[in-house]
Amino acid sequence: MQRLFFDCRCRSAFRVFLPTVLLLLSALQAPLAASEPQLLEKSELILVSGERTFRFNVELADEPRERRIGLMHRQEMAPDHGMLFDFGQNQQVSMWMRNTFIPLDMLFINEHGEIVNIGHDTVPHSEEIVASDGPVRFVLEVVAGTSRLLGLGPGDIVRHEAIGNMTDSKKIKG
């Protein structure tokens, strides 16, 4: 009889504490999951500067959560890769580098695909604001130094299917 009483008490305590233990385990895992880099579907993007064109493989961040995470927690990125942020409409945009390990160039792009301004060589982990010089719809993040190396500047064109100005790649020189 005494053993039956003990078994009931243990099962009762187990039922009470199990949800608490599970909650604690999930709380411990949340920071680990949050520090993982997000991987989004990749597509082709073309930068046009004068007669020159440059092809990039970019991830599109067009949902609020995707834009919020961006390139955080990435340890490296290929020189011809990047992330295109689509804010859905022209607006003033401000970015920062919290939890971002890679120095980046940020190209601020209007709804027509024209580069408005560039934030060069941003500092990893910085909370300093990097802002557009006016209303933009898109921001392209690439490895720091890329825009200077390629000679990109305001007025150059970014082509991507999200911008709606992607032409048949067979017709593009370069």
Angle (CA) 52-55-56 rounded to 5° is 140
Tell me, what's the pLDDT at 9? 55
- Encoded tokens for 8: 């009931």
Angle (CA) 45-86-158 rounded to 5° is 30
- Whether 131 and 165 share a structural domain: yes
Other C-beta atoms closer than 10 Å to the C-beta of 67 total 17
Average pLDDT over residues 147-173: 84
Which among 65, 57, 51, 112 is positioned nearest to 83, based on CA atoms?
Answer: 57
Task: Give tens-digit pLDDT for 9-37.
Answer: 555 554 555 444 444 444 444 443 457 88
29, containing H or E segment: helix 2-34
- Whether 167 and 132 share a structural domain: yes
Q: Per-residue pLDDT for 162 more than 50?
A: yes
Task: Give tens-digit pLDDT for 88-104.
Answer: 999 999 999 999 999 99
- Beta-bridged to residue 95, according to DSSP, are 130
Q: Per-residue pLDDT for 85 more than 90?
A: yes
Q: How many domains does the chain have?
A: 2
CATH number for the domain including 134?
2.60.120.1140
Tell me, what's the pLDDT at 167? 76
Tell me, what's the pLDDT at 81? 98
Beta-carbon contacts of 172 under 8 Å, excluding residues fewer than 6 positions away, are 46, 53, 159
- Whether 14 and 57 share a structural domain: no
Q: Per-residue pLDDT for 1 more than 90?
A: no
Q: Per-residue pLDDT for 41 more than 50?
A: yes
- Whether 20 and 79 share a structural domain: no
Residue 153 lies in domain? 42-171
- Whether 101 and 133 share a structural domain: yes
- Whether 2 and 58 share a structural domain: no
- Whether 54 and 114 share a structural domain: yes
Tell me, what's the pLDDT at 113? 98
Dihedral (CA of 61, 67, 72, 78) sign: positive
Tell me, what's the pLDDT at 31? 42
